[in-house]
Chains A and B, each alone.
Chain A
Amino acid sequence: MSDTIAILNDTTRCTGCEKCVAACKEEYELGRDRPWRAQGAVSDLSSTRYTTIVRRPDEHYVRQQCRHCLEPACVSACLVGAMQKTPEGPVVYDADRCMGCRYCLAACPYGIPRYEWDQRVPYVTKCTMCIERVRRGDIPACVDACPEEATMFGTRAELLAEAHRRIDENPGKYQPRVFGEHEIGGTSVLYISDIPLDFLAWKPDLGTQPLPERTWAALHKVPPLMLGMGGLMTGIYWVVGRRMKLASEAAIELETAASDIQAPAAEAESGEGST
């Protein structure tokens, strides 16, 4: 995983100019934002905004984008493989496969994937870390556009080293951790910041366990459960069936035996003989 491509966002350098957003919009021809009734603010992530700047009090600007988790919840959730983890690291989306169940929207701990709610045939949208550009040897459009070097592109190992170097050099300036280094198994988009960035996720403390593992804990029981349940039911059927058969045979035997014994006796007594 060390050569996974990654992005490092240094929020202390971001001035909130949104040139990254502009570059992203141009790269993917997203056009004007289409605010609609269910959208909080027009500057939220949306199907026309793969990345945006979240404004926090006291002039803090935090870029929000897909974290490209090392073990992505959306990929593990998708039942048709429309969300895919590329060998290079970014998580990409294949609209041709998508059936539109929106499990990825529910599963993402960072609330990244967005849906084209205003379209007649909606698809999921998200940041792809400009995988096509990277494959051409270019760098992501947002990183390219940043005038303040607040967002950097490189391999994850390099950027982690750089992040730790910056934190170590300015101990008082930064929060003493690289956001995304360990959370839910690590993410490819890393942050160093002077304010806590918990607001980017659904809950402050995500822990280090990758989310797909939680599913797998239940899913790996499926084959044994299948065989076990099948076996159990067959067994019960056989046992119950056999006992009923034996019981009925015994009843018949009893009856015939009783009738044999009682045959010479008076027929009137046969009703009581069954007890």
Chain B
Amino acid sequence: MNKRLLILKTVLWGLVGVLAVVTVARFVNGLGAVTNLSDGAPWGLWIGFDIMGGVALAAGGFVIAAAVYIFGLERYRPFVRPAILTAFLGYIAVAVGLLYDLGVPWHIWHPVRYWQYHSVLFEVAACVMLYLTVLALEFAPVVLEHPRFDKPLFGKVLSGLKRVTIPLVIGGIVLSTLHQSSLGSLFLITPYRLHPLWYSPIMYVLFFISAIALGLMMVTLESLLAAFFLNHKVHKKLLSGLGLAAAAVLGVYVTLRVGDLAIRGVLTTYLDGSWPSMLFVSELAISAIIPAALLLIKPVRSSIAGLALCAALTVSGMVMYRLDVAIVAFARPEELTYFPSWMEFAVSIGIVATFILIFIFFVENFRVYDDVEKAADGPKRSYDPATMHALLPRRLALPRRFSLAAIAAAAVAVVFLPQEAITGVVPASTPVAASRTVDGLPVNREGGGGGRKLQLIEARNGVPEGMPFLMIDGNRNGYPVLFDHKAHEARLENDRSCGVCHHISRPFDRNTACFECHRDMYEPMSTFNHASHVEQLEGNAGCIQCHENTAVEKSAETAVACGECHADLVSPLSFVEAPDDRWQAAVGYMEAMHGLCVSCHETKLAEDPENLPAALDRCDTCHDADRPIELQRMAPHVIASRERGGGG
């Protein structure tokens, strides 16, 4: 094995190790935990690259098969087997990528059961499944030729397969035509989301033609890579023929793409120097214009460097076309940006790495390339005196090196896993801040309903004397509720009634503020501080004071309730009931505010409807509509639960 291949394989195994780690996180904790996808960006890198790019990259299979078997261009036969193998492995990689991307991967077979002829995606799925079968049959002879399968039965299968080669090839071409183009049709239904420079009624034609060009250049690139890493012969003359063909196809593609946009008048409107137009121009230049122009120059397409450059440009450019359509030029809500997480990249790259390794396996063990030059470095392969390998049986040395690479990379990957990939998605937390005292002014409410509203005093110029209000804005979103604390005190008549609202007082505290227990805007949480109790009860010796029953496992459920010790914690005047006997849970801040304030307002209004303003139980009494106050959310579940309670 040459050094390049050894390095390549080591790197690939490392990537496979990273893939393994992310795979576990993906399938244990779900899509949300490892990707940056969201409702606004439902499709990301895995659809854009693994599926759309993957299918396009595997187009070489049907293009070369058509050239050799149908058009009788026998001289290109050396490319057939590598191209078919690439296509075969490429489509399996697409299917594997799809398993990562689907929310319910074990339903991947459902299209077979529930036919939906009106769905483009159904057509794609059906064609891909059938084509994968065709490719398996087309590639099977390569495997069956192996001496290990030298049995009469396999011989019969082999000759049978060879007899149906032509129908298989034709079937493959038809299926490829259909689904390569249909990947473009997928976006016909999203005219409002796909940028006009990419949206086109003939997208399916563009996708098909670009796939042919991409297929040709992919075969070229692969051939050059095989020469570099696997010491295979470069068919320079043939490659230059492919290059010329690709240039022609790219020309057709550019003409159609630009022509369609020009005829429909999109080009003049949208080619305005904005970022999508720059992206469009650069994509077109990289994928088609530059490589096509270069390939028309004979010295370029006859040189390996020139071919490699053009192939690399087209391949990356056409993948970019797919990515642009699926992700970049696909509209998202304005405030939302989507950039794949590193784990999304790790999966995309890892799958490619896996299948390159499988490709190399087939090349090393079966007759994929017709030339036999690689035999030249045969004897050297088994002995390397400079390393440990000399001391170990060769068969063990390589697996050791590769598994070491994979495990090391996996270990690094584990370190970089974000919290959510390990624990699953947790709702975002919105910590709550204390309410503040501000100067304000009560003014009478205009219009019906009566009552007063509160107004902040802008500047403290001394003219009218303001009075202190509480500004309740736990999440500091700029939409506070002004709370007239003094007026509420007065209404509740004396200091001892603090407990009506301040229903729980922490030890040594007379009137615990809301945010001290309701510490998240929306999420309920535990109010119990275990560490401080351990300290207060003098360490481990005190366990038994709460966890009285030593026969059961220690838990919050089996421990003594808070009230047993802190009988004075809850106010007897409390308007709200403690959530349960143990009082360990506090509802979210907003739910608490609504629960306490609105319930009380409603009760008071029901008690004395004549004297109290009718607006008392309306939202805008507190969320004053005269000021730029936006109700961020009104806890519909609170309303619902209250109504349920009131009705029953």
A residues lining the B interface (CB < 8 Å):
16-19, 21-26, 30-46, 55, 59, 73, 76-81, 97-103, 105-107, 109, 111, 114-115, 117-123, 201-203, 206, 211-212, 214-219, 222, 225-226, 229-230, 233-234, 236-237, 240-241, 244
Contacts and interface: CB of A to CB of B under 8 A. Distances in A.
Given A34-B427, A35-B428, A117-B425, A98 B116 contact: no
Given A106-B330, A115-B39, A117-B425, A219 B185 contact: yes
**Residue among A34, A78, A98, A120 having the largest count of chain B Cβ atoms under 10 Å:** A120
B635 to A, nearest CB: 8
B637 A31 contact: yes
B550 to A, nearest CB: 36
A155 to B, nearest CB: 26
A76 B123 CA distance: 12
B25 to A, nearest CB: 11
Given A22-B639, A43-B633, A79-B122, A38 B42 contact: no
Interface string B225-269: 000000000000000000000000000000000000000000000
B174 A233 contact: yes
Contacts of B111: 79-80, 99
B70 A105 contact: no
A33 B633 contact: yes
Given A18-B634, A237-B166, A121 B121 contact: no
Contacts of A225: 177-178, 181
Contact of B103 (A39, A106, A122): A122
A217 B188 contact: yes
Interface string B629-648: 01111101111100110000
A97 B107 contact: yes
A203 B193 CA distance: 8
B545 interface: no
Contacts of A38: 32, 36-41, 336
A102 B32 CA distance: 13
Contacts of B71: 236, 240
Given A17-B619, A76-B119, A215-B188, A120 B102 contact: no
A68 to B, nearest CB: 17
**Residue among B31, B333, B631 having the largest count of chain A Cβ atoms under 10 Å:** B31
B110 A36 contact: no
Contact of A32 (B30, B36, B426, B522): B522
Contacts of B331: 202
Interface string B4-41: 00000000000000000000000011111000111111
Contacts of A122: 30-32, 103-104
A209 to B, nearest CB: 9
A111 B39 contact: yes
A215 B72 contact: no
A118 B32 CA distance: 5
10 contacts: A17-B619, A80-B113, A81-B116, A117-B30, A118-B427, A121-B30, A202-B193, A219-B117, A229-B178, A237-B170
Given A22-B639, A100-B103, A123-B103, A109 B174 contact: no
A166 to B, nearest CB: 24
A22 to B, nearest CB: 3
B118 A216 contact: yes
Contacts of B333: 40, 111
Given A122-B32, A240-B72, A77 B430 contact: no
B355 interface: no
A36 B122 CA distance: 32
Nearest to B634: A18
CB-CB nearest 7 A-B residue pairs: A100-B103, A38-B38, A22-B636, A117-B32, A105-B42, A202-B192, A79-B122
Contacts of A31: 637
Contacts of B644: 26
A35 B523 CA distance: 9
A72 to B, nearest CB: 11
B104 A123 contact: yes
Interface in B79-130: 101-105, 107-108, 110-111, 113-114, 116-123, 125
Contact of B118 (A36, A215, A233): A215
A215 B189 contact: yes
A31 B41 CA distance: 25
B569 interface: no
A73 B166 contact: no
Contacts of B171: 230
A121 B637 contact: no
A160 B29 CA distance: 47
A244 B103 CA distance: 52
Given A22-B636, A226-B174, A76 B189 contact: yes
Contact of A81 (B114, B120, B186): B114
Nearest to B623: A16
B349 interface: no
B173 interface: yes
A99 B70 contact: no
B410 to A, nearest CB: 22
Nearest to A122: B103
A79 B185 CA distance: 14
A118 B38 CA distance: 10
A214 B32 contact: no
Contact of A222 (B66, B72, B178, B330): B178
Nearest to B102: A100
B424 A114 contact: no
**Residue among A79, A102, A117, A236 having the largest count of chain B Cβ atoms under 10 Å:** A79
Contacts of B336: 38, 40
Given A122-B30, A203-B192, A101 B114 contact: no
Contacts of B101: 101
B542 interface: no
Contacts of B102: 99-101
B178 A119 contact: no
